[in-house]
Amino acid sequence: RAKQEGKGTYRFFEAAMGAQIRERRSIEHDLHNAIENGELSLVYQPQAQLETGEVLGFEVLLRWNHPVRGLVPPSAFIPIAEESGLILTIGEWVMRHACQEAATWTRPLSIAVNVSALQLGSDGFPHLVQGIVEETGLSAERLEIEITETALVRDPHRALLALQRLKELGVTIAMDDFGTGYSSLSNLQAFPFDKIKIDRSFVQAVHTKPQAAAIVRAVLGLGRGLGLPVIAEGVETPEELSFLGQEGCTEVQGYLFGRPVPINELTSLICDNVIVLPRTLMRAAD
Ligand code: C2E
Ligand code: MG
Ligand code: MG
Ligand code: MG
């Protein structure tokens, strides 16, 4: 009987696995055509000065509007794009479009682009970025690339060379999701980071988990010690903002300041020096 049950469980498991594999294949297959079919688009999320709410720039986030599945979140297709190598084509598309867009802005706001491990380690990545910057006319100083620590582990030497070349171009290098990877501290010493992004999992737990508050405080102290600006991601409430302000955080990003939206919804932020967060909210957070 146990044997029977075991077999049943196994069959169930096998079927579930099969479905998962088919699902992945189907996503990979559709992703191949997504660029050509115009199914990919970009949304932009403001990054702001904590004190004033002034917009400093935007992070670009990829969106896939699948004809049948609808909006597929990055978490459901970026890993597949990375494993299949498609991220190279897709990443280049993101970089080119983001730079093209930012080059038209009337204010020299920064533009932060997420770059995956495979891209950073690919042949001639810094050269590709240089080409895009030249072709779009964007000043390289306005371009920021966000990389996670996992981008450094596969081939640290290659990653270092690529980051050094990018820095020579004038590009800013931000460590994304700081605290969620591994050996973060030695990475800060070994790689030429210009900026640290505290992961939103810490930010969103500052009032529920004392550990998270301690970690956020420590990262802010680390930034001060290293002379690196720290930006907090995933700021959703005035209470979180208030905590960050008290602890000396200077830059913020999160739903409280603005959700990621298509560029046409942001023209006022780009053209005028509009304060994203209503003053009243800033004061409430004091
Ligand atoms: P990430 O780079 O850490 O981006 C921040 C994520 O947090 C985004 O999710 C953003 O929408 C979300 N977020 C921002 N503020 C808040 C907030 O206040 N509350 C909550 N709950 N979430 C917030 P998204 O757009 O789903 O992207 C997820 C991840 O996918 C990104 O994490 C990044 O690792 C990856 N990704 C997105 N676009 C690209 C891309 O063009 N290239 C690559 N390689 N990866 C990308
Ligand atoms: Mg990011
Ligand atoms: Mg992040
Ligand atoms: Mg994150």
**Interface pTM, i.e. ipTM:** 0.98
**What pTM was estimated for this model as a whole?**
0.92
Report how far ligand 2's centroid is from the alpha carbon of 174 (Å).
9
Q: Quick one: tokens of 244? A: 């960050």
Helices (H), 69-175: 74-84, 87-103, 117-120, 125-136, 150-153, 156-169
Report how far ligand 2's centroid is from the alpha carbon of 150 (Å).
13
Residues framing ligand 1 (Cβ under 6 A): 45, 61-62, 73-75, 78, 91, 94, 114-116, 146, 176-177, 200, 233-236, 254-255, 260
| Res. 283: pLDDT tops 60 | no
Are 248 and 198 in contact, with CB atoms under 8 Å apart? Answer: no
Those residues with Cβ within 8 angstroms of residue 191's Cβ, 6 or more apart along the chain or in another chain: 152, 159, 160, 163, 173, 175
Considering every ligand atom shown, identify the ligand nearest to the alpha carbon of residue 112 and give its number: 2
Strands 40-49, 195-198: parallel, antiparallel or unpaired by DSSP?
unpaired
- Give, for 112, the enclosing helix (H) or strand (E): strand 110-114
Burial of 52 (0-12, 13-18, 19+ CB in 10 A): middle
Are 129 and 171 in contact, with CB atoms under 8 Å apart? Answer: yes
Q: Quick one: tokens of 124? A: 């001639």
pLDDT band at residue 284 using 50, 70 and 90 as cut-offs: very low
Residue of the nearest CA to atom 26 in ligand 1? 74
Q: Supply the pLDDT for residue 20.
A: 86
Higher pLDDT, 125 or 107: 125
Are 123 and 89 in contact, with CB atoms under 8 Å apart? Answer: no
CA atoms within 13 A on the CB side of 105: 28
Ligand 1 atom with the smallest distance to the CA of 82 is 44
Q: Supply the pLDDT for residue 154.
A: 84
